Amino acid sequence: LPLIATVVALLVGAPGAWGGSAPAGARAGGVLALQPAAQGPTVIEADEIAYDAATNIVTARGRVRVTHPRFRVFADTVILDLQTQVVTAEGRVRLIDAQGRELRGARLVYHIDREEGTVTDAETILDQTYLRGSQVEVGRDRITVHQATVTTCDPARPLYRITARRVEVTPGEELVARD
């Protein structure tokens, strides 16, 4: 593996839940570790990482991996707004939440403080059930799939499938298809 530069910045105690600020205009390939006040660190790894002090936004591009105590995100591009605690990811997105559920899709908007997000053009497997839809909303206790296709068979060649305008899943409990 080629060697890449490493940038590590620990952010402690200042405005917002994230505290502090990163080095002004930090830009390099490698790693950026953010230390919010009450949680563990959030680590961003990418080919290129930039921090904009004026907007308090971290932008990472190229093989991005974000590791947070409550989730992991993999994507081509990730924008982390430190003020609003919103992660926006695009391009081959994978979200793995605190329960170990994995969602894949084209775009993700995830609210860290609420542990809620939306993945577009998404698919996931829950309780041996394959779910695919135009949009998947994920929360702590529920997943909602819009324009959904659901099956427990091999999704490439299912023996049956359910299609619905909306499917609500409470993992381990129930799946309700509507419309």
Q: What is the pLDDT of residues 53-107, one digit of tens each?
A: 999 999 999 999 999 998 999 999 999 999 999 999 999 999 998 888 899 999 9
Cβ atoms 98, 75 nearer than 8 A: no
Instruction: Say whether pLDDT at 159 is over 60.
Output: yes
What pLDDT was estimated at residue 133? 97
Task: Give the pLDDT band of residue 128 (cuts 50, 70, 90).
Answer: confident
- 102-113 mean pLDDT: 95
Cβ atoms 170, 141 nearer than 8 A: yes
Q: What is the pLDDT of residues 13-39, one digit of tens each?
A: 223 334 334 444 445 566 766 655 456
Q: In this predicted model, which residue has the larger pLDDT, 135 or 126?
A: 135
Beta carbons within 8 Å of 54's beta carbon, 6+ residues apart: none
Task: Give the pLDDT band of residue 41 (cuts 50, 70, 90).
Answer: confident
In angstroms, the CA 34 to CA 4 distance is 19
What pLDDT was estimated at residue 17? 37
In the chain, the amino acid numbered 118 is: T
Q: What is the pLDDT of residues 131-156, one digit of tens each?
A: 999 999 998 889 999 999 999 998 88
What pLDDT was estimated at residue 38? 58
In the chain, the amino acid numbered 179 is: D
What pLDDT was estimated at residue 35? 56
Cβ burial of 94 (10 Å; 0-12, 13-18, 19+) is middle
In angstroms, the CA 2 to CA 62 distance is 15
